[in-house]
Amino acid sequence: MPILGWREWVAFPDLALPRIKAKIDTGARSSALHAFDVKTWIENDQAMVRFKVHPYQRDSHRTIGAIAPLLERRPVRSSNGHVEERPVIQTTIVLGGQSWPLELTLTNRDVMGFRMLLGRQAIRHRFLIDPGRSFIQSPAP
């Protein structure tokens, strides 16, 4: 299997996010994307979600808007033990020349070091992790 570093650049073409730095976190079951101004509605009997993303750390000026079908709302326990009900979407992720469907929870990660957390369900049976290296599959820009 290909090897990932503890952080990698990923893309979400369906969300018009060409590059976002992700922390690879095998301690987290699910994956989380920084999102704010999250709004849900029903369109043609389909639940939808609109949200905005600041794709780069320490940059709250660049903003990308996205719309996706809402899969569900799911309770997620954070590392500090707090449970938050988050919207969940499914989208395509691109990493290391591979692409596959991925479930993402949407949450405000402004105070976190990374705008994207890639959990173990996303990488299971696809990659091995080298926690001592970074950007193995995605060279830094």
For residue range 89-129, list pLDDT tens digits in order: 999 999 988 999 999 999 988 777 789 999 999 999 999 99
Q: Does residue 120 belong to any structural domain of this protein?
A: yes
Indicate the number of domains in the chain. 1
Q: Is residue 141 part of a domain?
A: no
Is the model's pLDDT at 141 over the cut of 70?
A: no
33, 105 in Cβ contact below 8 A? Answer: yes
Q: What is the pTM assigned to this prediction? A: 0.90
Which tokens belong to 58? Answer: 């320490």
Domain-embedded: residue 138: no
- Residue 73's domain is classified under what CATH number? 2.40.70.10
- End-to-end CA, the chain: 24
Distances (CA, A) of 74 to 33, 56, 71, 103: 14, 26, 9, 11
Helices (H), the chain: 120-123
Q: What is the Cα–Cα distance from 8 to 4, expressed in whole angstroms?
A: 7
Q: In the prediction, which pLDDT does 84 show?
A: 87
Residue of higher predicted confidence among 12 and 139? 12
Mean pLDDT along residues 26-34: 92
**How confident is the model at residue 79, as a pLDDT?**
73
Radius of gyration for the alpha carbons in the chain, expressed in angstroms and rounded: 15
Classify 94 in phi/psi space as left (phi over 0), alpha (psi -120 to 50) or beta. beta
Q: Is position 59 within any domain?
A: yes
Residue keyed to tokens 């709302």: 73
Could you tell me if residue 139 is inside a domain? no
pLDDT of residue 78: 76
CA atoms within 13 A on the CB side of 88: 13
Query: Residue 20 falls within a domain, yes or no?
Result: yes
Give the pLDDT score at 10.
95
- Would 137 be classed as within a structural domain? no
pLDDT at 77: 84
pLDDT above 90 (res 49): yes
Q: Range of 14's domain?
A: 3-129
Tell me the torsion sign for CA atoms 86, 90, 93, 98: positive
pLDDT at 106: 96
- Reply yes or no on whether the pLDDT at 86 is more than 80: yes
Is 79 inside any structural domain?
Answer: yes
What percent of the chain shows pLDDT beyond 90? 73
